[in-house]
Amino acid sequence: MTRTSTRDLTRGNPMQLILHFAAPLLFGFLFQQFYSFVDTAIVGKYLGAAKLAAVGDTGSINFLVLGFCQGACAGFSIPIAQAFGAKDPHEMRRCVSASIYLSAGLSLIMAVLTALLCPAMLRAMNTPESIIDDAISYIRIIFLGIPVTILYNMASGILRSLGDSKTPVLFLILASLVNVVLDLVLIIFVKMDVAGAAVATLISQFVSGAGCLIVMVRRFPELRLSEDERKPDPKLMKQLLFTGLPMGLQYSITAIGSVVVQWSVNGLGVDAVAAIAAASKLSMFFACVFDTLATTMATYAGQNMGAREIDRIDTGLMDTAVIGTIYSILAFLVIYFFGQNLLSLFINGHTDPQVMNMAVTYIRLNGAFYIPLLFVNIVRLSIQGMGYTKIAMFAGVFEMAARTLVALFLVPLLGFTGASLANPAAWIMADLFLFPCYFRVIRAVRERLHVAPKQRTFSFKEWGHAHSLFGRSPWQHGRNFSHSKRHTGNLA
């Protein structure tokens, strides 16, 4: 397989590989949050708290819909990473072709449905009438641009599967700069109101998605599809759906809990909505490290699963946990002592003191539980990287249940403080499910594949039997990725 900007994560020191792979990813996530910051800051400062509340009120359904699309694209890329780790370029390209067809179909269906249904979704969330028109204006544009969002997630996911974490970051940086300029122009000068923020976001995402696609086509000869590989393969696409849809549903199931929490917060008034909108933006900035480590573990676990280096997955997860725990402690200290100063980027504490006080409460309570959030991310994505997307999906059910219980019982009892505890409760509940699942998955793979240290061959037939402990793998009928023609298991 030709080496360009690809990186093999199956050899070398795990800690060094993880840090090297994660560094550009972190810059990408930070710049992504940067232009999200710009949206929020400009809307809050130039359009006021009510407009900020309108944009913030769409956050949960935005997560519900776009999270599904992003999760599905991430799931489509897992077999690509595994094929790359198994050194099977033909199967890798077949998976790339199938993921392109699936992403195109998914983008069109989701864009049409969500653009039509967004008013009903916002009303079902108990969105205050004073902000619902602005909320619809913003989120409808975002939903119509779902094909652009999926373009970036598909292309960047394929590149990361091959170990290239730098290219997506470079285009995210460019997109961030484009977004800043367009925000200023469309909101302040063109007077497009909240719709300007949505349009700026979509244009910037198109820049990053198109850039990744162009690089993928021109610089990666191992991704150039033959005529046979370009043909739609319904069987393979079905197999990828079994991997991608559970990951997409995981995000959506998690988001349902967020929608319920947003419904309860809407009943507390516009100030509460604005406070959570601002505090969530700041919290997402600090959570970039967790997202980075999780994405790294998905690719790392995927490649090492393909290479049958199961022990390396364990080692990589432990190294990642050490990095993330140290960061979590430092992040909480920064939030506790400087959180109010940072929130002043979005909120004018002199004119909206109540909003500021609530936002400080929210960010401090969430920051105190960053270690559970760390493990939700890295353990779940490790499980998914190994191909057990259905199991990891159920962690979203636990998150949804926790947030729903908080919304129904703690918010009426404790008010805004109760709403601030929704995320911590969800993270702890998910961890209680994910930890035993991870250990069972690792033990099952080791026992059933009889993987010895340094063993490099891999067969999806064997992997299919390893999955039988937790249900039928979509890849039980997949190809053998081993360079050797020896088969050690029988197809079920």
Specify the pLDDT at position 457.
40
Q: Is the distance from CB of 151 to CB of 213 less than 8 angstroms?
A: yes
Lowest average pLDDT, out of 227-241, 297-311, 326-340, 439-453, goes to 439-453
pLDDT confidence band for 455 (50 / 70 / 90): very low
- Percent of the chain, pLDDT > 90? 39
Token duo for residue 112: 């049409």
The tens digit of pLDDT for each residue in 379-403 reads 999 998 888 877 877 888 899 999 9
**Selection from 171, 158, 143 nearest residue 100 by Cα:** 158
Is residue 189 included in any domain, yes or no? yes
Is residue 70 included in any domain, yes or no? yes
CA separation for the pair 258, 245 (Å, rounded): 20
Specify the pLDDT at position 335.
96
Average pLDDT over residues 12-30: 86
Token duo for residue 237: 């696409």
Lowest average pLDDT, out of 53-57, 144-148, 179-183, goes to 53-57
For residues 335 and 248, which has the higher predicted lDDT (pLDDT)? 335
Is residue 480 included in any domain, yes or no? no
Lowest average pLDDT, out of 54-63, 137-146, 149-158, 161-170, goes to 54-63
Average pLDDT over residues 131-159: 92
Across 126-135, 142-151, 152-161, 380-389, which has the greatest mean pLDDT? 142-151
- Phi/psi of residue 459, nearest 5 degrees: -130, 130
Specify the pLDDT at position 391.
80
Specify the pLDDT at position 26.
87
Residue in the block written with tokens 């100063």: 341
- Torsion-angle region of 478 (φ positive above 0: left; ψ -120 to 50: alpha; else: beta): beta
Is residue 358 included in any domain, yes or no? yes
Q: Please list, in sequence order, all residues whose beta carbon lies within 8 angstroms of the beta carbon of residue 468, skipping any fewer than 6 positions away.
A: 448, 492
The tens digit of pLDDT for each residue in 49-71 reads 788 788 877 877 888 888 889 88
Is residue 3 included in any domain, yes or no? no
Specify the pLDDT at position 451.
63
Q: Residue 369, CB half-sphere, CA atoms under 13 Å: how many?
A: 19
Average pLDDT over residues 189-196: 89
Is residue 436 included in any domain, yes or no? yes
Specify the pLDDT at position 6.
67
Q: Is the distance from CB of 21 to CB of 9 less than 8 angstroms?
A: yes
Specify the pLDDT at position 490.
28
Question: Taken in order 165, 376, 389, 404, is the CA torsion positive or negative?
Answer: negative
Specify the pLDDT at position 387.
81
Distances 185 to 171, 261, 445 between C-alpha atoms, Å:
21, 34, 54
Q: Residue 247, CB half-sphere, CA atoms under 13 Å: how many?
A: 27
Specify the pLDDT at position 462.
38
pLDDT confidence band for 45 (50 / 70 / 90): confident
Query: How high is the mean pLDDT of the chain?
Result: 83
Specify the pLDDT at position 461.
41
Specify the pLDDT at position 443.
86
CA separation for the pair 75, 339 (Å, rounded): 35
Specify the pLDDT at position 324.
96
In single-letter form, the type of residue at position 296 comes to T
- Percent of the chain, pLDDT > 70? 88
For residues 480 and 345, which has the higher predicted lDDT (pLDDT)? 345
Specify the pLDDT at position 179.
85
Is residue 400 included in any domain, yes or no? yes
Specify the pLDDT at position 375.
97
pLDDT confidence band for 470 (50 / 70 / 90): very low
Across 9-18, 400-409, 464-473, which has the greatest mean pLDDT? 400-409
Reply yes or no on whether the pLDDT at 456 is more than 50. Answer: no
Number of domains making up the chain: 1
pTM (2 d.p.) = 0.71
- Torsion-angle region of 164 (φ positive above 0: left; ψ -120 to 50: alpha; else: beta): beta
Structural domain containing residue 33: 14-470
Specify the pLDDT at position 489.
29
Is residue 239 included in any domain, yes or no? yes
Q: Please list, in sequence order, all residues whose beta carbon lies within 8 angstroms of the beta carbon of residue 280, skipping any fewer than 6 positions away.
A: 56, 59, 362
